[in-house]
Amino acid sequence: MKSKNKKAKAICFLGTGSGVGKSLIVAAVCRLLWQKGIKVAPFKAQNMALNSFVTLDGKEMGRAQVYQAEACGLTPDVRMNPILLKPSADARSQVIVMGKPKGELNAKTYYTHYEEHLKIVQSAYDSLSKEYECIVIEGAGSPAEINLQKTDLVNMQMAKYANAPVVLIGDIDRGGVFAWLKGTYDLVGNEHRHRIKAFLINKFRGDISLLEPGLKQFEEIVPVPFLGVLPWLQNIQIDQEDGVFLKEIERQDPNATIKIAILRLARISNFTDFSAFLVEPDVSIKIVTYPYEAEDADVIIIPGSKATISDYKILENWGWKKALHKFALTGKIIVGICGGYQMLGQSIEDPKGIEGSIKDIDAFGLLPIKTVIKAQKHLRQKEAVIDSFNIFSPLLKRLKNNPYILNERFIKVKGYEIHMGESVLINKKNIISLFQDAKEDLGVLKKNPYIIGTYLHGIFDNDLFRRKFLDAIRIKKGLIPIKTISSLSKFKISQFDLLADWFKKNVNIEMLIKLIGI
């Protein structure tokens, strides 16, 4: 079936495998085209990721396409990622179609819906294509998986539908990049091979002159030119969608005055909740597996999880239950977001086995809440107000004597909810609502020991709250507050431009523009 709409030009970036850098390269190209004044949008037909986002209209999409949309100066739109697969326990994935959950399926069952999903993907693409001058398409994994090619709607099939030239990306850091490129080129099959118009090597380290003879030899073997060689990306912060890249939000600085430890979960989701701390000069971030690694932390954060009960059991086996109680009593601040919030409670029940085979557990027992996992998924963006006096007075004994913390006392925060559990407060003693104008089920604060739990993803993306939170910790430690508000949005814009510069310096832009035909 051919696309009925040929308005938008398109280019497709595929990879020789997962993790070769497709997402960030698409973001770089999106930013580059946006800088040239081209109305551009990203598109990934099918994405597998645990890092997701909720759009303004309450729909869920992959975080990478959110980042790419922002690089285009756009509000994220679920059409940019019509199918999202969120791996869960027991070798299944939750299938999100056009932003709404459609159930949990194993891989074999999922592929029986190929024709249905293909129509959805093509319809989403056509709709975007009517509104933009150029669509930058991202593939998934490898187009050379010969056992999956007949039902692969995200790689060569998508390039064919969009009539898009393909740039094939290889990761040289893993070794064997020429064999990887050649093997992929050969295995895509005669029907699609002619669509591969350029190769692009990513993650190069060293002297480019040593690689150049190999590039020339390879072009004699395969009649496809190289678009460029991208050096290893350094000192640019990007939103990643895969927990494999969790280390990239780390910043271990022995001189930092505030140390934050984030628990590594097997099925961690939305770890971008904490990348905002990278804009703050006084923060060190460490991803930890075992309790001893958090001994020097001021703040311990339990992030979200796609398999909360399963991840909790792993943490319990590693000794975190006893450790968190000890850490709380010795004055460390403990924060749980979404699945982490549920884990901080008394119990989690999953009577219908939505997450897996374990039906109920006793949790960490640090907050007086009980959670029941239900089929109905909460998806919405949310605004709420935090009262600085209520939130920080339990942390600081003499808050009234600190006018800075009380200045701009009421802080408006924005974020989003993505959860299938409902949490109920069972005891209000020593507990207050985290948000002045929202129900307690959105988040609570335990005064002593000081523990925060919330369903609001992105709470630390709010600049004023993030700085006040950090400065309250500084005051608690006897340090002078910094007060300077760092802008996360300005930081992101600067990173988009750096990403585009990195791409422009190392790629034949004239060839790229000619390939797209704009």
72 labelled catalytic: no
| Topology match between the domains 9-237+494-516 and 258-478 | yes
Structure tokens at 227: 């678009």
- Tokens describing residue 94: 């939750």
| Amino acid letter, residue 149 | Q
> In the chain, what are the helix, strand and coil shares in percent, each to the nearest 5?
35, 25, 35
Catalytic site residue from 117, 378, 419, 457 = 457
Specify the fold of 9-237+494-516. Rossmann fold (3.40.50)
Q: Domain residues of the chain, as ranges?
A: 9-237+494-516, 258-478
Q: What is the 3-state secondary structure (H, E, C) of 190-205?
A: HHHHCCEEEEEEEEEC
Measuring CA to CA, which residue among 81, 46, 87 is closest to residue 356?
87
List the structure tokens of 296. 């020097």
CATH number of 258-478: 3.40.50.880
Active-site choice (134, 338, 378, 419): 338
* Tokens read off for 398: 């003499």
- Reading the chain (518 residues) residue by residue, the pLDDT tens digits are 444 446 799 999 999 999 999 999 999 999 999 999 999 999 999 999 888 999 999 999 999 999 999 999 999 999 999 999 998 766 788 999 999 999 888 888 888 999 999 999 999 999 999 999 999 999 999 999 999 899 999 999 999 999 999 999 999 999 999 999 999 999 998 999 999 999 999 999 989 999 999 999 999 999 999 999 999 987 777 766 554 455 667 888 888 999 999 999 988 888 889 989 999 999 999 999 999 999 999 999 999 998 899 999 999 999 999 999 999 999 999 999 999 999 999 999 999 888 878 889 999 999 999 999 988 888 999 999 999 988 998 888 766 667 777 788 999 999 999 998 899 999 999 999 999 877 677 999 999 999 999 999 999 999 999 999 999 999 999 999 999 999 999 999 999 999 999 999 999 999 999 999 98
CB 12 within 8 Å of CB 166: yes
19 token code pair: 């993790």
Nearest to 446 by CA among 412, 395, 374, 383: 395
This prediction's pTM: 0.90
